[in-house]
Structure 1
Amino acid sequence: MIAQVPLYPRYANDRVTVALTDTPVVMVNGPRQCGKTTLVRGLKNHSRRYITLDDETVLASARADPAGFIRELDVATIDEVQRAPDLLRAIKRTVDDDRRPGRFLLTGSANILAMPTIAESLAGRMEVVTLLPLSQAEIKGHKVDFIEDAFAGKIHQPTNLALGKELIDIVVTGGYPEVLARRDSRRRAAWAREYTRAIIERDVRDIIEVDKLEQMPQLIRALASHASQLTNFSQLGGHLRLDDKTVRRYIGILEHVFLIRRIEPWFRNDLKRIVKTPKLHFLDTGLLSVLLGASSERITADRSQFGAILESFVISEILKIASWSSAEVRLSHYRDKDQDEVDLVMENEVGSLVAMEVKASATVSAGDFKGLRKVAQAAGKDFRLGLVLYDGDTVLPFGERLFAAPLSCLWN
């Protein structure tokens, strides 16, 4: 029997719908198979021609004559537009002549807006909505805005908790709809391996020429083993005989196809002894777990790898919530030369801060708040909330604006 992929609510849907009412071009940007096509084809009250560049004949036409291809369209959805990036320049020209809202709804499996010329050409004409794999809030049908609540200083006691083995299962499964449709862990792992191969052989090739593509799988595995750690580009390159510049370039490419996310350090000018090195996180911990060979059973027996995977899981959940949250936030991490750290610092548009430490344990001590206290002191009146997210069942106070909170707070 063929597994049916269930439909889940996508909370970015409202943002896309609203953007189409006042913006000529709307792009839904995110990794392949995260649900972009399902979202754009399921929009209500939007009658438009649908075109996919996964059709090789259509793609050839779009690449051969971008201006003519767009000239024939009035109101359209173009799927996988990164496969023919010159279409965006043609769209810019036609939109300059006819700025009706909602003319073009695009999807892309690569962040082509990272290309400066394209980003500049559509400035003021296009709104981008990021769609990542399913969040736990979407999987469980709970629309919560954890980010908005956190900046308001609110932390809620969750009612339905995921603890221990259940939490591990959630983390190692990840959020891709195709994976959630497969109950057998071996079938999930097979899908993840094929997905990673497709990213390398198709998505990377779509956006850039890579001269040593055969080394990309080894680099991805090396990045998986360094997930949630400070990024040492020279060390990564040394194992693969790649120079520092090439490693940085390849990591940038993997960011563009939404496999990983670089989190830069947080600091203020008056802070001393700060480590100014980014961390790397995988945007789906199902893929990360397969790359590490970390099954639910293996982690249950030996939790030594779980801390790093869990940290990436929390970062990815926050990024997903940010895609529909009313709050605009910038994510960073904190680490100083005393080895005190905070896994995630969120800063909103007015400079207020929420900081979080992730702990793969059912217990919390006052010492777990050392990094959070340093950030709170540095931020002063801008500090709103400090959390240690843990594998426990109760929200507990640990000082002014400092709490231990169950990980389930993110979605429940």
Structure 2
Amino acid sequence: MTSSASPRHIIDRKVRPLVETALDDTRVVLIVGPRQAGKTTLARQLSGDDRPYITLDDAGALGAARADPVGFVRGLDRAIIDEVQRVPELMLAIKESVDQNEEPGRFLLTGSANIATVPAIADSLAGRMATISLLPFAQSEIRSTPGRLLDRLFAGEDPVAGKETVFGDELIALVLRGGYPEVLRRTTASRRSAWLEDYVAQILDRDVRDIANIDQLDRLPRLLEVLAEHSGQLVNHSSFGAALGLSSVTAQKYVAILERLFLVRTLVPWSSNRLSRLIKTPKLHFLDSGLLATMREDEADVLGEDRTRFGALLESFVVSELLKLASWSERRVSFSHYRTKDQDEVDVVIEDRRGRVIGIEVKASATVRPQDFRGLRQLQEAVGDRFVRGLVLHDHDRVTPFGEKLQAAPLSILWSM
């Protein structure tokens, strides 16, 4: 199956069953994710005569909601409200409504900013709202493959390469495209980049105003460019701020805003009482590799020759794919990264509620050496029996064992399993 989406073909979203189940037993369901990731398409599929669709991108609906949030909600028995972050005051009105009528499935909300992280909103709807993430297309959604890698690894299965591995130039092309539906509909790199540039400009011009009051809005585009060159590296707010004439505190605030808008994601450092030389700094990634490539002006021919530059792009791609797999996984997992002061590292540490750990290292090269497992071996020793698997994902088509519970595997297992 090709890795591009037809404009008329609706790709099944793997979180849809989770949304439907939540609507059966929870009063409010919130789908959060970046703009143009497919939230509206999914929400409309769940609309009907008994659950009308309302978007706050409509000027009339937006004005009515802002003028009288309580009255706006009072007239609704069940509804889908799209882009609810544009009127945060609606959340308190929704709380009042669902406290009076506790039937499940009353409100399906979507948000292009993670308003569920705002303490006042999270507290007001605690116990009343289920939050489900919807990111741009995962490769397993595009290719209609199971997308059960995390569940299968935690169940103790060995990695399997699959029949249709992707590597070399095809892998570079896939990473450059990313997962935004509108990007996948465009057949040339220039058209994809043009859409992504417009997309970023619109988000930074409009959506930031909905969730934050900042004085130097004009600095955000340049900040995003700076972050793009630091993707896959440790967060350094002082360095980010210095490049723009901002204080470290202000830079930290602005990065947090970009994270709430689902443009970037930071991975917290993994910690253990058994290891004392761990770096305690988060690591920065972009949530879409196509967007990151556009911000960095990366091109396929250059990345084919400069594997170091491709490596940073590839790592963010893998992190994004893993987050997507986790969004519909049967298990609740957390993500972090491992790095010591001696520069030994594991790019992604995935831990389930039982404390069991999977470590994933990403390499852009086709060749994997024993020393590439140094960080994974340290992690394995630190967690002992809780260590489930250590993988080096790389540009290859075969699985190669490197020790007990340690393998090098093709990147394509992210969607082939």
What TM-score range do you get, normalising by the shorter chain? Answer: over 0.9
Instruction: Name the counterpart of 2:113.
Output: 110
Structure 2: distance between partners of 1:232 and 1:84:
33
Q: Return the offset for 1:136.
A: 0.3
Would the aligned equivalents of 1:5 and 1:178 in 2 still touch at CA under 8 Å? no
Would the aligned equivalents of 2:47 and 2:80 in 1 still touch at CA under 8 Å? no
Would the aligned equivalents of 1:5 and 1:181 in 2 still touch at CA under 8 Å? no
Instruction: Name the counterpart of 1:348.
Output: 352
1:190-205 map, 5 Å: 190-205=194-209
What's the Cα RMSD here? 1.1
Which shows bigger deviation, 262-271 or 30-39?
A: 262-271
Would the aligned equivalents of 2:116 and 2:131 in 1 still touch at CA under 8 Å? no
Structure 1: distance between partners of 2:164 and 2:136:
22
Instruction: Name the counterpart of 1:256.
Output: 260
Counterpart among 322, 325, 330 of residue 326 in structure 2:
322
Structure 1: distance between partners of 2:335 and 2:147:
19
Instruction: Name the counterpart of 2:3.
Output: none
Matched, 1:230 2:230: no
Question: What code does the residue aligned with 2:199 have?
Answer: Y
Structure 2: distance between partners of 1:302 and 1:388:
20
Counterpart among 89, 94, 103 of residue 91 in structure 1:
94
Question: What code does the residue aligned with 1:267 have?
Answer: S
The answer for unaligned runs of 5 or more in structure 2 is 1-5
Instruction: Name the counterpart of 2:40.
Output: 37
Matched, 1:141 2:144: yes
Question: What code does the residue aligned with 1:116 have?
Answer: P
Q: Return the offset for 1:44.
A: 7.6
Q: Return the offset for 1:144.
A: 2.3
Q: Return the offset for 1:4.
A: 2.7
Q: Return the offset for 1:43.
A: 2.7
Structure 2: distance between partners of 1:47 and 1:310:
44
Deviations 1:302-323 (A, max 9, x none): 3331000000000000000111
For residue 14 of structure 2, give the secondary structure of its aligned residue in structure 1: coil
1:9-408 map, 5 Å: 9-43=12-46, 47-154=50-157, 155-408=159-412
Label 1:208 to 1:5 Cα distance change in 2 as closer, same or farther (>3 A). Answer: farther
Structure 1: distance between partners of 2:195 and 2:307:
24
Structure 1: distance between partners of 2:49 and 2:377:
50
Label 1:173 to 1:5 Cα distance change in 2 as closer, same or farther (>3 A). Answer: farther
Which shows bigger deviation, 145-154 or 314-323?
A: 145-154
Structure 2: distance between partners of 1:48 and 1:152:
39
Which shows bigger deviation, 321-330 or 299-308?
A: 299-308
Question: What code does the residue aligned with 1:202 have?
Answer: R
Would the aligned equivalents of 2:307 and 2:365 in 1 still touch at CA under 8 Å? no
Structure 2: distance between partners of 1:91 and 1:203:
22
For residue 24 of structure 2, give the secondary structure of its aligned residue in structure 1: coil
Deviations 1:229-259 (A, max 9, x none): 0111111111111000001100100010000
Question: What code does the residue aligned with 1:322 have?
Answer: A
Structure 2: distance between partners of 1:153 and 1:248:
39
Q: Return the offset for 1:21.
A: 0.3
Which shows bigger deviation, 104-113 or 149-158?
A: 149-158
Deviations 1:105-158 (A, max 9, x none): 000000011210010000000001100000000011112211111112321222
Structure 2: distance between partners of 1:219 and 1:231:
13
For residue 377 of structure 1, give the secondary structure of its aligned residue in structure 2: helix
Structure 1: distance between partners of 2:121 and 2:46:
26
The answer for unaligned runs of 5 or more in structure 1 is none
Deviations 1:293-344 (A, max 9, x none): 1022321243331000000000000000111110110000000011100000
Structure 2: distance between partners of 1:49 and 1:41:
9
Label 1:44 to 1:199 Cα distance change in 2 as closer, same or farther (>3 A). Answer: closer
Structure 2: distance between partners of 1:334 and 1:85:
36
Question: What code does the residue aligned with 1:341 have?
Answer: E
Which shows bigger deviation, 150-159 or 222-231?
A: 150-159
Deviations 1:242-280 (A, max 9, x none): 000001100100010000001010011221111111101
For residue 62 of structure 2, give the secondary structure of its aligned residue in structure 1: helix
Structure 1: distance between partners of 2:18 and 2:175:
27
Question: What code does the residue aligned with 2:63 have?
Answer: A
Q: Return the offset for 1:45.
A: 7.4
For residue 264 of structure 1, give the secondary structure of its aligned residue in structure 2: strand
| TM-score, scaled relative to structure 2 | 0.97
